[in-house]
Amino acid sequence: MDRFEKLASVLLVKGDYRGGSTTSTSSILKSVTTVLLLGLLATAGCRQLPSEPATADNHAACVADYNPATDYFPNKVQPKYATGFSVDYYNHYKVVTVTQPWQAANETFEYLLVQCGTPVPEGFEEAQVIQVPVNTVVTLSTTYLPHLELLNQLDGLVGMDDFSFVYTPSVRQKIEQGELIAFSSGKTLDLERLLVSEPELIMTYGIGDPDVDGYGRLIQAGLPVVLAGEYVENSPLGRAEWLLFTALFFNQEAKAQQVFTDISTEYESLVELTAGLLDRPTVFSGFSYEGTWYMPGGKSYAAQLLRDAGSAYLWEENESTVTIPLDFESVVDQAATADVWVNVSQDWFSYGDAIATDPRYGSFDAFKQGNVFNNNARINDTGGNDYWESGAVKPHLLLADLVKIFHPQLLPDHELVYYQKLEP
């Protein structure tokens, strides 16, 4: 897995890790392969999302009799929170532009989505042309698996690069039944097998490092590759709204908008619940990795979740959108008396696990008082962590967990979904 080892080291140093917080060495590698659903979870204390009414959507098959005057996409979407992509609609095609494929990107990617059975328009020679709706898809990050499940498109999933760290149970079932293909051959992506499989869409991502990114080789091979940049979004709803991006390729805009509206409504209601709180517990995040503590920047995805949950994040005044490299002593100086500690190593399940790594962790008040919470409550036997899968598209549940941790009286009936307290 050299490709992923390189990616892990680059992301750790650059602070571009897809999950929004740092993890242990093994977990970074695990999450990179996942990086980036069980249906909409209805949990006590976090209101159940409403049932979905039947909706008409865009064409689910090829057009048999093309009429240039017909609008083949009556259901249209536009991102409200996400800043990394845009879409322009025309009668029989859509122009999708990814404007933020990775951190500080200086290039954009354009995709021409043409309704199957209609002509390809002229003037888009530089764009990737993809016939929609696509019927078969390969994902090179498990981040997109919850999208496919929410859009009822898992039947079209052909395979992925690696199965090791998939969490989504419905996908694991398909793996166990031999319905999916793993396209990694040893340590590299097997282009020949991909070409033979002829997927209509390959979903992947990049970090702007040609030594790590593989999408260029896929494009050169003539494969239909789409680069998604959801992990660059600094807001939880912005990251979740990339569900709409995925839906564009399946003509599932109505379904995606319906699901996302429910999620965003629930998220915003929780933000309102904590907005007026004066008593906000102090909190810090992460852990030391090889002598460096990678603390989420004050404008990062992780920091916004902590802020929206009604906590006082000790680095919230920092302007960075990625992680801040700190030494252990500087973290102790600022966080020794903090009330709560979250998002520690994915390998920690008990306080003993932390102390075994570094006895100095025991000096934090949050540790002494038993207020350390980790986002590893949903890890399966293969190492897949659902926090990085469904959590990215269900931020309302992440937020409900954090509200429960910081202000349990506000959600007395909510049971933690992605988080758990470290065991004594």
Report residue 307 as tokens. 């802020």
What's the confidence (pLDDT) of residue 159?
97
Kindly tell me if the per-residue pLDDT of 93 is higher than 60: yes
In tens, the pLDDT along 131-143 reads 999 999 999 999 9
SS3 string of 256-320? HHHHHHHHHHHHHHHHHHHHCCCCCCEEEECCEECCEEEEECCCCHHHHHHHHCCCEECCCCCCC
Longest dimension (CA), the chain: 72
User: Are the folds of 85-264 and 266-421 the same?
Assistant: yes
In tens, the pLDDT along 338-359 reads 999 999 999 999 999 999 999 9
Residue 280 binned pLDDT confidence (cut-offs 50, 70, 90): very high
In tens, the pLDDT along 108-138 reads 999 999 999 999 999 999 999 999 999 999 9
Give the Cα-Cα-Cα angle 73, 64, 70 (nearest 5 degrees): 35
Looking at the domain covering 85-264, what would its CATH class be? alpha beta
In tens, the pLDDT along 175-192 reads 999 999 999 876 789 999
Looking at the domain covering 266-421, what would its CATH class be? alpha beta
Residue 11: CB partners within 8 Å, gap ≥ 6? 17, 18, 28, 32, 207
Q: What percent of the chain has pLDDT over 90?
A: 82
DSSP state of 99: S
Residue with token string 């999208």: 147
DSSP string, 166-221: ---HHHHHHHHTT-SEE-EETTEE-HHHHHHH--SEEEE---S-TTT--HHHHHHT
Residue 57 binned pLDDT confidence (cut-offs 50, 70, 90): low
Residue range 396-423: average pLDDT?
98
What is the domain partition of the chain in residue ranges?
A: 85-264, 266-421
